[in-house]
């Protein structure tokens, strides 16, 4: 039984107890009305998620639209983000070139980690900036240190939360998430906030390992299918525009705001 079903049942029982205390009876039609009340008063935020005790050891037991959310790789895994083999595996420069960034663009790198992509993108937006968003203070500290070391001024580390990237409304030309979205603890709330941060013609780019391909050597919860990604982002008002499959193992899915 899901959390939503339990809450609905409890609300119905409470309503019945109140009616009994008042000495009233419930007709068949009234019973249907009670069901409707119990359903419509469900918490819309909680109803987006489901907790399960039987789940993957690589997940957090929290499911969103049928998908289990993966465990987050913490700041102690920062070295893995900078591994030399990543150039070959993910072709970062090829990905960045495909974004067609303009010199004045404001780019939000959500789940920036060590800034692996942030600092690379910064060179393509000399009159703009890259907002390197992460929810871990330790990652923000790493970003600030690398910013000073690299002498790159147009990268701005931003500490977000698990529900909000902390970006101003209508301020971002492109928001990109590379191997990050599947770990969002509150994907619905986060994507709604990201959508609000986009300019009218802003884009969202989701880069995820291909969940459709069992040969991609990544744990299943750290991959996503196109179908699942498109379903989740459509639910927050983002329209799929295209998918580019030039990377060896990852989808590059591009979305825009609904007109």
Q: What tens digit of pLDDT does each residue of 220-236 get? A: 999 999 999 999 999 99
Its pTM stands at 0.79
Contacts of 221 (CB under 8 A, 6+ apart): 56, 58, 59, 68, 69, 70, 71, 182
In a domain, 64, yes or no: no
- Per-residue pLDDT, 151: 97
Percent of the chain with pLDDT over 90: 72
- Per-residue pLDDT, 92: 87
In a domain, 78, yes or no: no
3-class SS shares of the chain: helix, strand, coil, % to 5: 40, 25, 35
Considering only residues 30 and 186, tell me which one the structure prediction assigns the higher pLDDT.
186
Q: What is the pLDDT of residues 145-163, one digit of tens each?
A: 999 999 999 999 999 999 9
In a domain, 214, yes or no: yes
Q: How many CA atoms lie within 13 A of 201 on its CB side?
A: 1
- Per-residue pLDDT, 21: 56
Region for residue 167 given its phi and psi (left: phi exceeds 0; alpha: psi -120 to 50; beta: otherwise)? beta
- The length of the chain is 259
In a domain, 93, yes or no: no
- Per-residue pLDDT, 247: 94
How many domains does the structure of the chain reveal?
1
- Per-residue pLDDT, 80: 52
**Partners of 157 in beta bridges:** 132
User: How far is Cα 241 from Cα 226, in angstroms, rounded to an integer?
Assistant: 12
- Per-residue pLDDT, 22: 53
In a domain, 30, yes or no: no
Inform me whether the pLDDT recorded for 139 exceeds 80. yes
Do the beta carbons of residue 126 and residue 102 sit within 8 Å? no
Structure tokens at 248: 């060896």
- Per-residue pLDDT, 232: 98
User: How far is Cα 192 from Cα 179, in angstroms, rounded to an integer?
Assistant: 19
The owner of tokens 């329209």 is 239
Average pLDDT, the chain: 85
The owner of tokens 């600092």 is 119
- Per-residue pLDDT, 47: 73
Domain range for 163 is 102-257
Do the beta carbons of residue 61 and residue 68 sit within 8 Å? yes
The owner of tokens 């931003």 is 158
Nearest to 240 by CA among 204, 200, 195: 204
In a domain, 173, yes or no: yes
Using a 10 angstrom Cβ sphere, with 0-12 exposed, 13-18 middle and 19 or more buried, the burial of residue 39 is: middle
Cα dist from 257 to 46, 67, 179, 194, 226, whole Å: 24, 23, 21, 11, 18
In a domain, 236, yes or no: yes
- Per-residue pLDDT, 90: 74
Percent of the chain with pLDDT over 70: 76
Label the pairing between strands 198-210 and 155-159: unpaired
In a domain, 177, yes or no: yes
Neighbours of 206 (CB within 10 A): 29
Which DSSP category does 180 fall into?
-
Determine phi and psi for 256, rounding to 5 degrees. Answer: -135, 170
CATH number of the domain bearing residue 231: 3.40.50.150
């Amino acid at each position: 039984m899901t959390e939503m079903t339990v809450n609905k049942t409890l609300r119905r029982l409470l309503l019945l107890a109140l009616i009994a205390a008042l000495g009233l009876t419930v007709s068949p039609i009234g019973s249907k009305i009670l069901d409707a009340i119990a359903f419509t008063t469900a918490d819309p935020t909680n109803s987006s998620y489901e907790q399960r005790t039987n789940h993957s050891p690589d997940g957090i037991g929290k499911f969103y639209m049928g998908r289990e959310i993966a465990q987050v790789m913490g700041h102690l895994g920062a070295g893995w983000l900078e591994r030399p083999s990543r150039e070959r595996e993910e072709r970062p420069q090829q990905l960045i070139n495909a974004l067609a960034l303009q010199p004045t663009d404001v780019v939000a790198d959500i789940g920036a980690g060590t800034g692996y992509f942030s600092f690379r993108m910064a060179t393509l937006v000399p009159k703009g900036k890259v907002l390197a968003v992460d929810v871990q203070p330790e990652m923000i500290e790493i970003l600030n240190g690398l910013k000073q070391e690299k002498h790159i001024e147009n990268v701005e580390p931003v500490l977000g939360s698990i529900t909000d990237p902390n970006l101003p409304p209508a301020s971002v030309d492109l928001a990109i998430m590379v191997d990050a979205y599947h770990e969002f603890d509150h994907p619905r709330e986060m994507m709604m906030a990201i959508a609000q941060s986009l300019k009218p013609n802003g884009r969202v780019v989701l880069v995820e390992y291909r969940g459709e391909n069992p040969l991609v050597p990544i744990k299943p919860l750290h991959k996503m299918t196109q179908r699942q990604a498109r379903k989740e982002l459509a639910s927050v008002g983002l329209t799929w525009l295209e998918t580019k499959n030039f990377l060896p193992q990852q989808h590059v899915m591009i979305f825009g705001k609904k007109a």
